[in-house]
């Protein structure tokens, strides 16, 4: 019988962190080896999640947890300010990393890839763990060959820290790779209110909505002569991300270097 993959979760007290803890704890091939959160004060995660069998507490120091638990994989659901340092710390200690926190820039990704290769471990940066979201991005990439005029609307809960979402940026990048012509701009267009036309990635407008009631949603709207085509994905519950999280944990131990996007594991 193969050894279980030992996993720690960073950002364990967040909404995604709690779901990840439950999913990992209940997955037969994985061993939950520890949890860390800067807000951690030794709380019983079993009490927080109403899981009587879970007899572990939430730690507050990542270095100490890695030294004590000696994990194979760290899953990070922290925040854009902490994720780079967390990942660098883990990779340097030869811990594979699964990153669900968005906000890393290209320079940071390049540095993490270099550290991962130097230490012969893998780092997976996954903008969206939902299978439906991955299919939305892949379908949008295919449609862009025929409908180059496109804009993206992404909608998230009002506590999300970064905008636009990592999923929207990734979608724009995938569309750009398959778009055969760049649509001409309306030279007479002007914004009466700054930002009314949204942000821009590779010439693709992205509009970010932040309101209570949403979880994670995105619509990609293509325009053509006399017609439009919309591709939309909605995540209503964070439990829908967990199959993608578990898949990535199981695959990352076979990888050396950086993988960006869940589609690379499907």
Q: Helices (DSSP H) in 119-165: which residue ranges?
A: 131-143
Strands 96-99, 73-76: pairing is: parallel
Domains contained in the chain, CATH given: 5-125+238-265 (3.40.50.720), 131-235 (3.30.360.10)
Pick from 211, 264, 262, 210: nearest CA to 240? 262
How many CA atoms within 13 Å lie on the side-chain side of 209? Answer: 13
Q: What is the pLDDT of residues 181-222, one digit of tens each?
A: 788 788 888 989 999 999 999 999 999 999 999 999 999 999
Maximum Cα–Cα distance across the chain: 67
Please list the active-site residues: 156, 160
* pLDDT per position as a tens digit, 44-103: 888 888 888 888 899 999 999 999 999 999 999 999 899 999 999 999 999 999 999 888
Residue 2's pLDDT is: 63
């Amino acid at each position: 019988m193969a050894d279980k993959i030992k996993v720690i979760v960073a950002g364990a007290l967040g909404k995604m962190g709690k779901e990840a803890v439950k999913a990992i704890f209940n997955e037969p091939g994985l061993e939950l080896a520890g949890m860390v959160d800067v807000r951690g004060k030794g709380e019983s995660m079993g009490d927080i999640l109403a899981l009587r069998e879970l007899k572990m507490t939430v730690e507050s120091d990542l270095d100490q947890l890695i030294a004590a638990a000696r994990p194979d994989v760290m899953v990070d659901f922290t925040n854009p300010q902490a994720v780079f340092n967390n990942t660098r710390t883990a990779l340097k200690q030869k811990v594979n990393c699964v990153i669900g926190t968005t906000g890393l820039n290209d320079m940071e990704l390049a540095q993490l890839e270099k550290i991962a290769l130097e230490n012969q471990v893998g780092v997976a940066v996954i903008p969206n763990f939902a299978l439906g979201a991955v299919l939305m991005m892949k379908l949008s990439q295919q449609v862009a060959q025929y409908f180059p005029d496109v804009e993206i609307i992404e909608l998230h809960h009002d506590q999300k820290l970064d905008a636009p979402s990592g999923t929207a940026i990734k979608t724009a990048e995938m569309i750009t790779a398959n778009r055969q012509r760049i649509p001409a701009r309306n030279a007479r267009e002007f914004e009466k209110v700054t930002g009314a036309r949204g942000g821009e990635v590779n010439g693709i407008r992205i509009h970010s909505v932040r309101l209570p009631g949403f979880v994670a949603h995105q619509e990609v709207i293509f325009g053509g002569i006399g017609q439009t085509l919309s591709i939309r994905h909605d995540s209503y519950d964070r439990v829908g991300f967990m199959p993608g999280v578990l898949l990535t944990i199981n695959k990352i131990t076979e990888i050396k270097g950086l993988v960006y996007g869940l589609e690379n594991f499907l």
